[in-house]
């Protein structure tokens, strides 16, 4: 009696969907990589089951931006895409402006956007349809869950087209409108992201600004903002004055609710986020993972170095966060400033492998060790966690980091990799191998659509704890092959 693995309404992956009544409770087998229990028959798993990550909608979601140029639509699109991918929702953005640039190759002037430019209108419409076609492909077979359709979409007519397209394909639609009339915000926007646009490569600043302002004018007369009455049946969030006020209408499901929550927590006030690990610990020196040991002498020196560094940076109202493990707290103590302890920042739980050396893990659990190398992101230690679990655990931390301004996070290797991957938009494959050495501070400063990273090595010696993926990840490999990339330790 096989159960069918169907795409269940609430699951991103599959849930168990039985067709026949199965009174004899079948046995379960535990997936060796993720340690998930699944029903099995004749020793083989019956259908793949994924642990619940984010509650998915039944059908894919199309997010549609709305707003005049320079209102932050692309900023929001990229940021939202980055967040959704990080929490495990496959998301992709489709920027119609980019389609236009690819099609036209050369941008002459704002005249292209004039409402009486028939040729221009035709091309723009074509680009929008081309983008929608790619959206369709992404959401219906390309493995996508959410597509962000980033364009002005300022007329009701254009939006109606998109809604029809979505309905035909079984996508839910959620509009994100950005409304802003603060001239300072718009000017700053233009400076940050428009001047550097491929459209204005051959212009000086003044020319670019002037042309862009005229471009905005082209849209203004035909702009129909989302209306409380006329658009009352649509699902949308209207973001006003860069987050001062929000109007939220008809949130339909979990993912839309999460999107609203996220959009309501982000801000654009300039600030920096400092990420670093605890100082070198006693277990680090021994080449052992996990545990709750204290700092080594060199680790304490790092604390001193960190304190000096922070003082020199002269950061306004710096918040300091640590985990609840001794080594991060000891590091923060040296700083001489108030700090907050977060359990969510604790290092990945290595379960039965806690406090073991890689050599010992290879010795006692060679299969586990190999599986970890095969899929380090999804691999869960027996009675422990996976990077995938870590990301879920860290989501509230990321949400609060978005709310805050200047923050220093003193954490751990795996944790820092997860946080870094969020800020630098690194995928699940790269994340577990990001380099986060001891005694190095990463200063992240949001700029344009991304994040500037400055790496500051505080010049205090420490062991290397970074083990790269070995060539041979096969379960039958030799001990030598398994331990090939283990970093030196005492």
Task: Summarize as ranges the residues that interact with another protein (CB under 8 A).
Answer: 8, 10-11, 15-18, 21-23, 25-26, 28, 30, 35-37, 39, 49, 51-52, 55, 228, 232, 244-251, 254, 257, 260-261, 264-265, 292, 294, 300, 303-304, 307, 317, 321, 324-326, 329-330, 332-343, 354, 383, 389, 392, 400, 403
Q: Rounded to the nearest 10 degrees, how much is the dihedral formed by the CA atoms of 262, 268, 272, 277?
A: 10
In the complex, the smallest distance separating the C-beta of residue 39 from another protein, rounded to whole angstroms, is 6
In the complex, the smallest distance separating the C-beta of residue 405 from another protein, rounded to whole angstroms, is 12
Q: Give yes or no: 127 in active site.
A: no
Identify the DSSP state of 113. G
Q: Give yes or no: 280 in active site.
A: no
CA distance 439 to 466: 13
Q: Give yes or no: 471 in active site.
A: no
Our CB check for another protein shows the closer of 108 and 343 to be 343
Q: Give the distance between the most distant pair of CA atoms in the chain.
A: 77
Our CB check for another protein shows the closer of 17 and 181 to be 17
> What is the DSSP pairing of strand 91-95 with strand 61-66?
unpaired
Mention every residue, 6+ apart, whose C-beta is less than 8 A from residue 126: 103
Write down the catalytic residue from 278, 301, 368, 418: 278
Q: Give yes or no: 59 in active site.
A: no
CA distance 322 to 335: 12
Write down the catalytic residue from 127, 180, 411, 418: 180
Write down the catalytic residue from 93, 150, 211, 231: 150
In the complex, the smallest distance separating the C-beta of residue 257 from another protein, rounded to whole angstroms, is 6
Contact 243, 379 (CB under 8 A): no
Contact 416, 348 (CB under 8 A): no
Our CB check for another protein shows the closer of 55 and 367 to be 55
CA distance 487 to 470: 12
Our CB check for another protein shows the closer of 36 and 456 to be 36
Q: What is the DSSP string of 133-194?
A: HHHHHHHTTS--SEEEEES---SHHHHHHHHHHHHHHT-EEEEEEEE---HHHHHHHIIIII
Placement of tokens 């010049």 in the chain: 459
Of 340, 354, 345, residue with least CA distance to 292: 354
In the complex, the smallest distance separating the C-beta of residue 53 from another protein, rounded to whole angstroms, is 9
Q: Give the angle 462-464-470 at the CA atoms, nearest 5°.
A: 175
Write down the catalytic residue from 93, 177, 231, 347: 347
Our CB check for another protein shows the closer of 18 and 489 to be 18
Our CB check for another protein shows the closer of 190 and 390 to be 390
Determine which helix (DSSP H) or strand (DSSP E) holds 14, and give its type and residue range.
strand 14-17
Q: Which residues are catalytic?
A: 150, 180, 278, 347
């Amino acid at each position: 009696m096989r159960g069918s693995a169907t795409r269940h309404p609430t699951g991103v992956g599959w849930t168990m969907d039985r067709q026949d009544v199965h009174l004899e409770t079948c046995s379960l087998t535990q997936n060796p990589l993720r340690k998930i229990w699944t029903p099995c028959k004749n020793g083989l798993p019956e259908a793949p089951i994924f642990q619940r990550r984010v509650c998915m909608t039944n059908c894919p979601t199309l997010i549609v931006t709305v707003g005049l140029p320079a209102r932050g639509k692309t900023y929001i699109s990229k940021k939202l895409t980055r967040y959704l991918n990080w929490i495990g929702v496959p998301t992709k953005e489709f920027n119609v402006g980019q389609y236009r640039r690819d099609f036209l190759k050369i941008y002459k002037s704002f005249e292209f956007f004039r409402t009486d430019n028939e040729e221009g209108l035709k091309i723009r419409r074509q680009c929008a349809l081309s983008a929608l076609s790619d959206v369709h492909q992404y959401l219906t077979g390309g493995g996508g869950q959410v597509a962000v359709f980033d364009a002005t979409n300022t007329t009701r007519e254009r939006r109606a087209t998109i809604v029809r397209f979505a309905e035909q394909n079984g996508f839910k639609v959620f509009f994100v409108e950005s409304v802003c009339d603060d001239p300072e915000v718009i000017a700053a926007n233009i400076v940050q992201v428009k001047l550097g646009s491929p459209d204005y490569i051959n212009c000086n600043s003044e020319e670019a600004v002037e042309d862009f302002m005229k471009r905005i004018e082209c849209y203004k007369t035909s702009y129909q903002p989302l209306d409380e009455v006329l658009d009352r049946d649509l699902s949308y969030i209207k973001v006003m004055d860069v987050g001062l006020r929000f109007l939220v209408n008809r949130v339909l499901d979990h993912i839309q609710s999460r999107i609203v929550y996220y959009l309501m927590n982000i801000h654009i006030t300039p600030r920096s986020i400092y990420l670093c690990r605890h100082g070198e610990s006693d277990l680090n020196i021994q080449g052992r993972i996990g545990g709750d040991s204290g700092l080594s002498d060199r680790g304490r020196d790092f604390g001193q170095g960190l304190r000096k560094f922070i003082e020199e940076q002269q950061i306004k109202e710096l918040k300091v966060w640590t985990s609840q493990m001794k080594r991060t707290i000891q590091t923060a103590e040296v700083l001489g400033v108030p700090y907050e302890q977060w359990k969510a920042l604790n290092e990945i739980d290595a379960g039965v492998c806690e406090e073991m050396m890689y050599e010992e893990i290879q010795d006692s659990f060679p299969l586990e060790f190999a599986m970890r190398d095969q899929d380090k992101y999804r691999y869960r230690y027996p009675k422990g966690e996976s990077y995938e679990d870590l990301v879920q655990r860290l989501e509230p931390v990321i949400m609060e980091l978005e709310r805050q301004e200047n923050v220093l996070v003193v954490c751990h290797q795996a944790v820092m990799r997860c946080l870094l991957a969020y800020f630098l938009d690194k995928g699940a494959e790269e994340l577990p191998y990001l380099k986060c050495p001891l005694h190095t501070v990463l200063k992240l400063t949001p700029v344009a659509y991304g994040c500037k990273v400055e790496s500051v090595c505080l010049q205090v010696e420490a062991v290397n704890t970074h083990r790269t993926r070995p060539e041979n990840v096969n379960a039958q490999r030799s001990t030598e092959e398994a331990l090939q990339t283990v970093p030196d330790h005492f």
